[in-house]
Amino acid sequence: MPGSGSLEAKPYQAPRNLELFVDRTELIREFAAAINEDPPPGQVFFFHGDGGNGKSLLLRFLETRCCHRLEPDNWSWTTEVEGEQFLQRYCDAQGGVRLPVAAIDLESAPRVLQGLGSPESPLLDLRRQLAGLSVETPLFDYAVVRYLHGAGVLTAERIYGLFGEKAGFVEKLVRIIADNKLVAVGEALLGLLAKSYQADVHEWLKRRKISEEWFDFIRRLGPNRDLLPKLPVLFAEDLHAALQERGAPARIVILIDSHDRLWPGPDRWLSDYEYHLRDQWLREMVNRLDSRVIVAVAGREQPGWETAATEPVPGGKVRLHRVGELPEDDARDYLRKAGVADSGLQDAMLALATVGQSGAHPLYLGMMVDVLEAARGADAELKAEELPEAAERERRPRQILELLLRHAPKEAAACPSYQISFSAAASSTAGSGCLPLPNWKISQYGSRGSVPSSISPPRAIQTPP
């Protein structure tokens, strides 16, 4: 059913990894329903599964192709079909409105950000992105500026470094706080709001359902230890207020990747209290977010939020989805999209890439496609008989790595959303018959690191034995 207009977003040229995107249609349909159906579910989507199974790619697909709201009749027409047909209708629909979307990857966040030990937190990254989409966060901004003032690091350079180009309002806040020495800031702040938003500030606050008492509450907090834990609460309150505005978007979307990176390396040996402290800021935010803020988080393991002693998230508020291997039909669809037409070659590739019980591992399948493309780049055509016969499941990842080193340069793109850096030389395989696991890193979209669980070392449990 044709729409009456076009999406309010610039034309998007999908990178090749999104062009090869297959499967996950049911997950996408649930996400699209949360955006397009009223009332919204009021749940957080949590995608979990082994590294390399496509969680980051799924978030990327949602961000670029699925964050739009259709007119009711257009949405109804879209939902008349299932599977790939639904996906095609929804992603190509006309007459929709692009929603404000903020997406962060916790893999790329400096360690100081992880536990909100500083206002330079993932919340600031979300704030910067939403500010660029005209979503205002005055309570959060005010609190961060007060924190910087109390820490003695309130400078113009610091402000622009944290808040980016949309720092004009915050810069004025800096001058007000400095002039008033944190005493009579309340009235001065309200006057600034009136000028910044070109409206009677009391009406503006009333329309957004922000009580002036919020600013007094922030001012009464200690500028450091007392204030920092309130940042997620203030951020959530700002988003709730933004959705009350005249002409506000129907939804705001927040996407958070690499949740497991909040517990890097040896830091996973923690007490239950320390373990849950690492993502307490996230739990505090999602517990208070307006149901019209749609949140999707991705990580290797289920979050276990309802077991936290402080700020637990009820189980019914989290919609868990495992992102697993690709079923055979979807894996063959992926290979066809990647230019593998020969059924015999498809069979050989699938045999090597199937390391689990339920289908082909997306990462290994992508590596096989990379082997094919490397051969084509050398003016050769890879044939099924050139691939080794699939060994027992636990040895297949090493077979694929050996193929990739043989056909591709040391820096190879797999899937090709992955970039694999090998520090082990091919000569290290001498006499072994297969490639010993080298010191390698996979980084999806150039920022996140993960190793599929089938070849990664065992993960530490939450508490020491």
Which tokens sit at 293? 């803020």
Query: Position 181: which residue type?
Result: K
Cα distance between residue 157 and residue 210, in whole Å:
30
Helix axes 396-407, 343-353, angle to 10 degrees: 120
Nearest to 119 by CA among 145, 99, 138: 145
How far apart CA 158 and CA 163 sit, in angstroms, is 8
| Assigned token pair, 412 | 């190879």
Predicted local confidence at residue 421, as pLDDT: 35
Q: What three-state secondary structure class fits 308?
A: coil
Low-confidence ranges of the chain (pLDDT < 70): 1-23, 109-120, 156, 164-211, 223-224, 265-268, 408-465
pTM (2 decimals)?
0.78
What integer pLDDT is reported at residue 13 of this predicted model? 33
Residues near 85 by beta carbon (within 8 Å), at least 6 away in sequence: none
Distance separating the N- and C-terminal Cα atoms of the chain: 60
Are 315 and 283 within 8 A, CB to CB? no
The pLDDT of residue 179? 60
Residues 360, 328 contacting (CB under 8 angstroms): yes
**pLDDT value of position 237:** 93
* Residue 296, beta-bridge partner list: 45, 255
Q: CA 365, CA 384: separation in Å to the nearest integer?
A: 15
Q: How far apart are CA 12 and CA 422, in angstroms?
A: 33
Asked if 361 and 452 touch (Cβ cutoff 8 Å), the reply is yes
* pLDDT of res. 232: 94
Closest CA to 127 of 89, 71, 165, 178: 165
Domain ranges of the chain: 14-118+249-324, 136-233, 328-449
Sign of CA dihedral 205, 208, 212, 216: negative
Q: Domain 14-118+249-324 belongs to what architecture? A: 3-Layer(aba) Sandwich (3.40)
How high is the pLDDT of residue 372? Answer: 85
Other C-beta atoms within 10 Å of 70: how many? 24
Neighbours of 186 (CB within 10 A): 15
Handedness of CA 75, 243, 232, 314 (dihedral sign): negative
- 111-139 confidence digits (pLDDT tens): 433 334 454 578 988 998 998 898 988 88
Q: Which helix (H) or strand (E) covers residue 367, if one does? A: helix 362-377
